[in-house]
Every structure is written in structure tokens, then in C-alpha cells.
């Protein structure tokens, strides 16, 4: 226990110091976590154990869950071309080309070549979606193309793992294994659909009525982990179950608050995941096979980029196609799971397996640098100028955000409707949320004093924010958050009196409406008639 605490403390210290240093050069924290894992593994003579990897994989689970929250079933169906056409073509063409190269150029046995080829077709969901989420590019056209392909790749992991079982199984026929997989998919998706359709809303209503943040967060964890475990039990990936669970909750009025509460868990576990990736790097393999690894890395990333670029160029302009292709040119974390299973099943030589692990890890390290500089790279390689429009998943743009749906909030909404202005309301009292939803108003459950809730409400593309709540501490917190955005946000705040107004005097608030003063003026005006 004491040794474990020393390892944890050392890892935290190294991660903090490394990331503080790397941030000075605008290098993403992901690289710091991977380097931390490599250093820890050599300082304490560790190699990643299965239990630690399983825990760390839940970072991807929470990431996929939050992505699922952004995409309802209707939204996913609107992306069917990106997921089921682009994704399918990319995986089949890329996997087929790499398989043929492995078999006929490097003389690798056919079964092993197929596994290697299709593992190389997979990209890094964890790294790419995290960075696209952080920089807002997930809602651009190229971000949408990337997301669609990555979602299909995540689905493709299932038949790929099944393929390894088929190659190594002697007691079961191919038709039996395929039948079991199809039956499992029907059962899992059916159960999750029934839960989402009939149980989630009443369940969350009961949880929220308890007025306990702890119970609310515990309920979210129950749903995420439960859906992931159900999918894994039936032979699918944890992250696929989490993604479906996120899509189910996206249909409810609680989606914004759920996402805001879950982000800390996601980021912490993602950091742990990248540390475990770093722990798998074997320095001796790099020393002995450096040129081979470098050549493999360059060739794989160039071939993937060309395939995806050509595929997407059919439907979108070259600039968008190039940015999407560069974004997913790496080989991803699920490939490491495929290589591990293939090695354990004697389909891969241990040395080749280690070379692949190092190559995959290096490609993942390079990815944040590519994504950070993707616009200048696109400018350099493609002269075609193209406007890239933001696709806001919530559909909100040039609207007014109303914080609070009490008596004043309701009056504001009534008057906004009369002048036909687009708006949405953020309310933390579930009774008011229910009232608004009964009136078919866009009233969402969430705490407006949380930055993620404001972001999810489209604050950076809104016309104005009206703060119509009575809690003076919460008022100030909301105004502080609105000031923290790079883009100036037109903020209108209602205060009860002069004392409340003084509390906001040091903040950049565009309009402060003193309720007492306005009411007094109106009363005197009416009295003097």
C-alpha cells in the first residue's frame, strides 16, 4: 500500500511539472501524461497490468458518454452518411490495403496480416475527440466527418475482436459466432432502448426531487457504468455502451447538467488512460528498431491520410477533406487492445507486437501537435479557400439565454415570445423546469453558475444573457463566468437594490437593472397621472 502511494504521488508530481513545462510551449497535456507513464514505468520498474488498463479505459467510456449526450438518435440518423458510409468505406479500404501489404510485401501469415491491417485502420477516439471538444471543432464540418468515421471505427472493433476469436477458435463454427454476436447486439440495444424510452425520465425526476447533488452524480455514474458493463457482458466495447447511454440521456431535459457534472471524472480518468499508454513504451525496442518504427509510422500515417482524403473529397472540398484526414491519420488506443488479444492468441510475434505498440503510441503523441496546427498545415497544402461553418449540435444561435424561470423569468419569456425572439431558459429548480416543459417552452435543467452549462447553451453565439434570479451569490458567479469568455457577451442582470448592484460593480456587466428603482419610477409615474 505504501509503495502504491509513493508511485501515485510521484506520477502526480511528474505529470504536473511536465505539463506546466509543456504548456509554456502550448503542447497539449496528453503528451505530458504519456511521458509521465513512460518515466514512471522505468523509475519503479513497472509494466502496465491489466487491472490498471481496465480502470484507465473508463476515461474513454466517459468521453464517449459525453459525445453521446451531444448526439440524439435523430441527430445520429442525420449523420448516417458520415457514420455508415464514410466510416464503412474508410475501415474496409484502409484495412484491406494494409492487410495486403502485410501479407504480400512483408510475407506475414494471412490471418495475422488481416488482424494487423484492420487494427491499423482504427484511429484514436480518446485523443481526437477530446481535442476537438476542447477547441470547439467538433461542431465544424470537418469535425462532423471525423466524428462519424470514429463512431463507425468504435463499432468495427466488435467484429475485429470477433475475427480474432474465429481465427483461433476450434470448437465453434463461424456461423455460430456470428449468430451469437447479432443476437447479443439485438439484446443490448433493445434493453438500452427500453430503459431510455420508459425509465430514464421518471428516474431522473425522482432523483432531482431529492435535491441532492451527490445522489444526482451517483445516478449518472450508475447509468454510465451500467450501460458499459451491459455492452461488455455481451461482448462489445465498454465505450459503445456508454455512447448509447449518452444518446438516451440526450433525449431528456437533464442532458446539460449531466454533462457538466461528469466532465471532471472524464478528464481525470482520461489522464490515467494516457499514463498507462506511456507505461507500455519499451525504450529498448525503440533503440533496437528505431528506423523500422519511424518508417512504419510515416508510411502508415501517409497512407491513412491519402485514403481518407480521397474518400471525403468526393462529397466535400479539399480543405475540409485534408483536415479530417490529418485528424485521424494516427493509429488508436483500440488497436492496442487488438494487438494484445492477437499476441495472447499467438497471432503476433512478441517483438512485432512491441514494435506496433511503440509505433501506435508515437502516432498518438504526434496527433495533438497535428490537431493544434491543422489550420496552418491545411493552408500550406491546400490553396483552396473555403469558409468552414460551425454546426452547433444544440441548434442554438443568435438567441437570448434567460437564467431563471421564476415569476420574472416567465414574464421575460412571455415578452420575448410576443416579439418573436429566439430564446432558451436555464433553470435549476425542477418544478419550474416541469412547468416550462408543460408549456412547451425550451426550459432546460441546469445550473447556470457552471461554465459547461453556459457553453452547452450556446453562450458564445448568443445575442444576450439575461440573469433573472434572486440569489446574489449565484448572480455574481454567473457574471464572473460570462466575463471569462474571450468573446464579450452582452449581459443584463436584475438586482433587487443598490447593495446588490455594488456587488457587481467590479465586473464588466453591460446592463444592471435595479428592480427597486425601476418599480419606484413606474409607481410614481402612475401616481402622477
Condensed to tens digits (0 to 9), the pLDDT of residues 151-207 reads 888 778 777 877 777 777 655 565 666 677 777 778 877 887 788 778 888 888 888
Return the closest-CA partner of residue 270 out of 57, 53, 48. Answer: 57
- What is the mean predicted confidence (pLDDT) over 267-271? 75
Question: CB neighbours of 265 closer than 8 A, spacing ≥ 6?
Answer: 62, 221
* pLDDT surpassing 50 at residue 393: no
Q: Per-residue confidence at 75, pLDDT binned at 50, 70, 90? A: low
pLDDT at position 389: 45
Least confident range from 51-65, 91-105, 476-490: namely 51-65
Give me the mean pLDDT over the 375-397 stretch.
65
Instruction: Please answer whether residues 445 and 429 qualify as being in contact, where contact means their C-beta atoms are separated by less than 8 angstroms.
Output: no
pLDDT tens digits along 482-529: 888 878 889 999 888 887 787 787 787 878 888 888 878 888 877 887
Q: Which of 17-31, 131-145, 231-245, 296-310 has the highest mean pLDDT?
A: 296-310
Distance CA 304, CA 413 (A): 51
**What average pLDDT does range 226-242 have in this prediction?**
81
pLDDT attached to residue 120? 95
Exposure pattern of 456-485 as b/e (b: 16+ CB <10 Å)? bbbbeebebbbbbbeeeebbbbbbebbeee
Q: Which tens digits make up the pLDDT trace of 441-498?
A: 888 888 888 887 888 788 888 999 999 988 887 888 888 888 888 788 899 998 888 8
User: What per-residue confidence (pLDDT) applies to 333?
Assistant: 78
At 174 the pLDDT is 59
Whether 390 shows a pLDDT value over 60: the answer reads no
**Mean of the pLDDT values across residues 44-60?**
62
pLDDT at 367 over 80: yes
What integer is the mean pLDDT of 73-85? 75
Q: What is the Cα Rg of the chain in Å?
A: 26
Are 503 and 472 spatial neighbours (Cβ–Cβ below 8 Å)? Answer: yes
HSE-up of residue 112 (Cα within 13 Å, Cβ side): 19
More confident residue, 406 or 507: 406
CB 330 within 8 A of CB 366: yes
- HSE at residue 215, side-chain half, CA atoms within 13 A, is 10
Mean pLDDT confidence for 233-245: 79
Short-list 378, 364, 308, 370, CA closest to 334: 364
The pLDDT value recorded for residue 391 is 43
Q: How confident is the model at residue 308 (pLDDT cuts 50, 70, 90)?
A: very high
Asked whether the beta carbons of 362 and 297 are under 8 A apart, the reply is: yes
Distance between CA atoms of residues 9 and 15, nearest Å: 10
pLDDT of residue 385: 53
Q: Hey, what's the torsion of the CAs at 276, 279, 282, 283, to 10 degrees?
A: 130
Which of the four pLDDT bands, split at 50, 70 and 90, describes residue 392? very low
Q: What does the pLDDT read at residue 48? A: 53
3-state SS, residue 389: coil
What pLDDT score was predicted for residue 74?
66
242-260: average pLDDT: 79
For residue 172, what are the contacts with CB-CB under 8 A and spacing of at least 6? Answer: none
- pLDDT at position 384 over 70: no
pLDDT value for 140? 77
Kindly report the pTM of this predicted structure.
0.65
Average of per-residue pLDDT values in the chain: 82
Query: Which of 20-24, 55-59, 346-350, 468-472 has the lowest average pLDDT?
Result: 55-59
pLDDT recorded at residue 301: 95
- Residue 14 near residue 36, CB atoms below 8 Å: yes
Query: What residues are paired with 514 via a beta bridge?
Result: 495
Tell me the C-alpha distance between 124 and 232, whole Å: 20
Of all residues in the chain, the percent with pLDDT exceeding 70 is 89
Amino acid at each position: 500500500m505504501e509503495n502504491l502511494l509513493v508511485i501515485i504521488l510521484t506520477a502526480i508530481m511528474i505529470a504536473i511539472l511536465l505539463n506546466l513545462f509543456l504548456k509554456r510551449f502550448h503542447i497539449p497535456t496528453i503528451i505530458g501524461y504519456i511521458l509521465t507513464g513512460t518515466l514512471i514505468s522505468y523509475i519503479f520498474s513497472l509494466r502496465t497490468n491489466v487491472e490498471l488498463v481496465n480502470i484507465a479505459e473508463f476515461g474513454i467510456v466517459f468521453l464517449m458518454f459525453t459525445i453521446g449526450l451531444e448526439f440524439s438518435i435523430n441527430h445520429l440518423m442525420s449523420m448516417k452518411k458520415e457514420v455508415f458510409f464514410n466510416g464503412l468505406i474508410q475501415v474496409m479500404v484502409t484495412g484491406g490495403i494494409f492487410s495486403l501489404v502485410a501479407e504480400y510485401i512483408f510475407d506475414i501469415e494471412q490471418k495475422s496480416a488481416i488482424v494487423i491491417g484492420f487494427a491499423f485502420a482504427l484511429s484514436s477516439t480518446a485523443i481526437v475527440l477530446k481535442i476537438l471538444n476542447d477547441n470547439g471543432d467538433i461542431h465544424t464540418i470537418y469535425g462532423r466527418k471525423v466524428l462519424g468515421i470514429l463512431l463507425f471505427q468504435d463499432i468495427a472493433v466488435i467484429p475485429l475482436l470477433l475475427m480474432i476469436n474465429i481465427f483461433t477458435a476450434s470448437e465453434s463454427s463461424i456461423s455460430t459466432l456470428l449468430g451469437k454476436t447479432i443476437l447479443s447486439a439485438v439484446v443490448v440495444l433493445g434493453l438500452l432502448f427500453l430503459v431510455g424510452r420508459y425509465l430514464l425520465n421518471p428516474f431522473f425526476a425522482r432523483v432531482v426531487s431529492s435535491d441532492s447533488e451527490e445522489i444526482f452524480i451517483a445516478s449518472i455514474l450508475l447509468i454510465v457504468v451500467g450501460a458499459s458493463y451491459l455492452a461488455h457482458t455481451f461482448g462489445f466495447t465498454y465505450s459503445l455502451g456508454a455512447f448509447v447511454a449518452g444518446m438516451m440521456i440526450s433525449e431528456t431535459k437533464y442532458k446539460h447538467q449531466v454533462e457538466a457534472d461528469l466532465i471532471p471524472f472524464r478528464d481525470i480518468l482520461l489522464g490515467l488512460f494516457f499514463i498507462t499508454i506511456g507505461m507500455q513504451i519499451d525504450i529498448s525496442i525503440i533503440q533496437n528498431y528505431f528506423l523500422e518504427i519511424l518508417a512504419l509510422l510515416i508510411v502508415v500515417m501517409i497512407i491513412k491520410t491519402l485514403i481518407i482524403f480521397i474518400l471525403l473529397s468526393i462529397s466535400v472540398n479539399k480543405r475540409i477533406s485534408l483536415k479530417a484526414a490529418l485528424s485521424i491519420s494516427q493509429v488508436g488506443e483500440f488497436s492496442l487492445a487488438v494487438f494484445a488479444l492477437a499476441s495472447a492468441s499467438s497471432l503476433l510475434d512478441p517483438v512485432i507486437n512491441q514494435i506496433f505498440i511503440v509505433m501506435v503510441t508515437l502516432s498518438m503523441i504526434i496527433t495533438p501537435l497535428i490537431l493544434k496546427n491543422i489550420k496552418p498545415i491545411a493552408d500550406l497544402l491546400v490553396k483552396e479557400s473555403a469558409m468552414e461553418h460551425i454546426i452547433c449540435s444544440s441548434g442554438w444561435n443568435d438567441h437570448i439565454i434567460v437564467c431563471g424561470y421564476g415569476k420574472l423569468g416567465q414574464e421575460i419569456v412571455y415578452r420575448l415570445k410576443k416579439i418573436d425572439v429566439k430564446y432558451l431558459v436555464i433553470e435549476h429548480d425542477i418544478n419550474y423546469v416541469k412547468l416550462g416543459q408543460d408549456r412547451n417552452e425550451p426550459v432546460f435543467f441546469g445550473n447556470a453558475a457552471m461554465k459547461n452549462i453556459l457553453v452547452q447553451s450556446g453562450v458564445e453565439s448568443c445575442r444576450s444573457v439575461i440573469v433573472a434570479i434572486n440569489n446574489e451569490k449565484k448572480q455574481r458567479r454567473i457574471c464572473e463566468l460570462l466575463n471569462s469568455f474571450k468573446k464579450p457577451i452582452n449581459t443584463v442582470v436584475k438586482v433587487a437594490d443598490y447593495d446588490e448592484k455594488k456587488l457587481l460593480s467590479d465586473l464588466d456587466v453591460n446592463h444592471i437593472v435595479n428592480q427597486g428603482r425601476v418599480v419606484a419610477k413606474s409607481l410614481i409615474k402612475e401616481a402622477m397621472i
